[in-house]
Structures are given as structure tokens and as C-alpha cells.
A and B are shown apart, each in its own frame.
Chain A
Amino acid sequence: MPSPYSNSPNENYLYRIPITVATAGQTYLAANTTVNIPYQVVNFPFRWLFAVASSTGTFTTLIYDVGRVYYLSPSALNNVNEWGTAQLPMPLLTPYTFQQNTQVQFTVTDTSGANNTIQLVLIGHQIVPNGTYGAAQ
């Protein structure tokens, strides 16, 4: 049944993608190290609207859309410049849509000099055809 709130052929609903950033075997990113965190967008496109993160120290991130061969910046951004908080999220006035069945790669580097517990959260919309509730991912 088409959504009464949209005349779009698609139905967009709130979706959040949390990315836990950790060194292998740990719950934190080890001091002064870099990890590559892949995330697979599965069944439906995801439109990224807000950038939110929590951490126990500073870090940098570089985001790469593998499917489109597209870096979202030419080099890494400091966390203060990219990620807001739940209370003060960074809105993407230019939303970015990750296509379905594509991989996104997050390259995260600790710059705090101490073990860093980091969670990135991409808040946005899952884009599904009307009448589809979306498969479990």
C-alpha cells in the first residue's frame, strides 16, 4: 500500500548504519593506528542525511564508495570537521545515496595517541519500493 505521506514511487524510512571502529580483536582503535572498515549496503539504496559519531579521542576518516569509485573527500577529515553528535548532528545538505549491493570503506586513523573507542553512525533513509518493508539486513 503506498505511503500516504509520499507521492514518490519509493518509500523512504529512517535507517541508521552504525560503524564500530576497532582494531582486530579489540573493542577500540589502538593508539595512532589506522583501520579500514568495510560496510556492505545490501538490499536497498541508502540516502545518507546526517553524520554522527562518538569517540573517546580524536580521529580522522576517509570515506570511499567502492561501487562508484568515489572518495567523498580528497583526503581524510578530522572528526571535529565531519561528525556531529545526536544532539548536534552534521546535516548533509547534499545527501549522498549509496547504491544497493555496494561496499563503502571507512579508513579511520586515531590521532589522539591513546586507545580510542569510536562509533560512527550514518543516519538517513532506506529507499525501498512502495509496499516493501525491507528485508532484514
Chain B
Amino acid sequence: MRPIDWYLPQYGAKTEAILPLQAHIQDGRIYRIPYNFLQVAANATGQNYTTPGAPYLIWAFTASITGGTGAGFQFQMFHRHGSFQRPLASTMVLNANSLGTAGHPVFIKNPYLIDTGEALGIELRSLEQANTVNIQIVMWGANLNHIPPGRMPQ
């Protein structure tokens, strides 16, 4: 499995055949990765990068924000592989337009793979004008290291 060939086309191949099947989200082992932004001051920015350490297939996002007036925040995501970095939006997006909650999660129509050694980063800016807030963004996904033998994508 060399999914990076598809994700970063400068590597060459562009075939979905090398991607894990959507069904594999059921074969992996669930893992949730929280991004914690604590005590974000009014209009302040923050960034947080996480390397899952194993092939990780994201299928949903949720987020929470506490301490503010409801102004929310805007954010951008980056998929990083070595010195390459792919933004996952053209510019910053409002949290209300791209992140849900456990009651209303935002499911990704096509699960997104972060391969071993790669990182997913989040950069955000608080839209609060006076209040300090705590923000937690959670990736829901499957750790593909735990797929039973014989069912790994070829």
C-alpha cells in the first residue's frame, strides 16, 4: 500500500486502487485524536500538529469551544508529508461550517488517510473579541495497524 502516491501527485501514480477501501474503517481499530487549544486569547492564533504514528483513516470531525460568546473560530488543516504540505481548504473556514459535535458530527464522504510518519495539523484563529476560550477539535478515525491479517488493502 503506497497511498502517498495518490495524495501527493508529484510522486507519480494516481490510482484509487492503492487506497484502503472505505470498508476498512470497520476493520481498523477506532481511535480519536484531540487537538487541544487551551486559553486562546481574543483574536489569537494557535497551531497544533499531530502524527498518528500508524496509518490512520479519518472519517469524522467534532469540536467544542468553551468560555466564549459563541463567536467561534476559523481554522485551516494541513496534511504534511516530509517537506510537502497540502492545505485542506483554500483559506480558513468557520468552525460552524466544517466541524460538528458528537450529536451532529461532520462525516467525511470519503475517509481521508494520514499515512505512517505523516502529520495532520490545525491552525486556527479565535473570533472572540474579548474572551479567552478553550477549543478542542477531535479527529475520529480508524487505526489501520489493527486490520486482521488477510484483510489489509493490497
Does B107 count as interface, using CB distance less than 8 angstroms? yes
Q: A92 contacts which chain B residues (CB < 8 A)?
A: 30
Q: B140 contacts which chain A residues (CB < 8 A)?
A: 93-94
In the complex, are the beta carbons of A90 and B66 less than 8 A apart?
A: no
| Chain A count of residues within 8 A CB distance of the other chain | 28
Complex partner residue of A83 from B33, B63, B102, B136, CB under 8 angstroms: B102
In the complex, are the beta carbons of B103 and A84 less than 8 A apart?
A: yes
Q: How far is the CB of A79 from chain B (nearest CB, A)?
A: 8
Bound CA–CA A78/B105 (angstroms): 14
Does B126 count as interface, using CB distance less than 8 angstroms? no
Complex partner residue of A81 from B25, B59, B136, B141, CB under 8 angstroms: B136
Residues of A within 8 A of B (CB): 51, 58, 70, 72-85, 87-96, 111
In the complex, are the beta carbons of B26 and A95 less than 8 A apart?
A: yes
Q: How far is the CB of B80 from chain A (nearest CB, A)?
A: 18
In the complex, are the beta carbons of B62 and A73 less than 8 A apart?
A: no
Q: B102 contacts which chain A residues (CB < 8 A)?
A: 51, 79-84, 90
Does B120 count as interface, using CB distance less than 8 angstroms? no
Q: How far is the CB of B113 from chain A (nearest CB, A)?
A: 14
Closest to A82 in B: B102
In the complex, are the beta carbons of B66 and A75 less than 8 A apart?
A: no
Does B48 count as interface, using CB distance less than 8 angstroms? no
Bound CA–CA A70/B31 (angstroms): 10
In the complex, are the beta carbons of A93 and B59 less than 8 A apart?
A: yes
- Beta-carbon contacts under 8 Å, B9-56 to A: 25-26, 28-34, 36
Complex partner residue of B29 from A70, A74, A76, A111, CB under 8 angstroms: A70
In the complex, are the beta carbons of A94 and B63 less than 8 A apart?
A: no
Q: How large is the interface on B (under 10, 10 to 19, 20 to 34, 35 or more residues)?
A: 20 to 34
Complex partner residue of A73 from B26, B31, B104, CB under 8 angstroms: B31
A88-B104, A94-B25, A94-B59 given; A77·B136 CB < 8 A:
yes
Complex partner residue of A94 from B26, B33, B101, CB under 8 angstroms: B26
Find the residue from B28, B34, B141 having the highest chain A CB count within 10 A: B34
Ranked 9 nearest A-B pairs via Cβ? A88-B103, A80-B64, A90-B102, A94-B30, A73-B32, A94-B142, A84-B103, A81-B62, A81-B138
Does B127 count as interface, using CB distance less than 8 angstroms? no
Q: A96 contacts which chain B residues (CB < 8 A)?
A: 29-30
Bound CA–CA A95/B140 (angstroms): 12
Q: B62 contacts which chain A residues (CB < 8 A)?
A: 80-82, 90
Q: B138 contacts which chain A residues (CB < 8 A)?
A: 73, 77, 81-82
Q: B103 contacts which chain A residues (CB < 8 A)?
A: 84-85, 87-90
Q: A88 contacts which chain B residues (CB < 8 A)?
A: 103-104
Q: A77 contacts which chain B residues (CB < 8 A)?
A: 32, 34, 136, 138
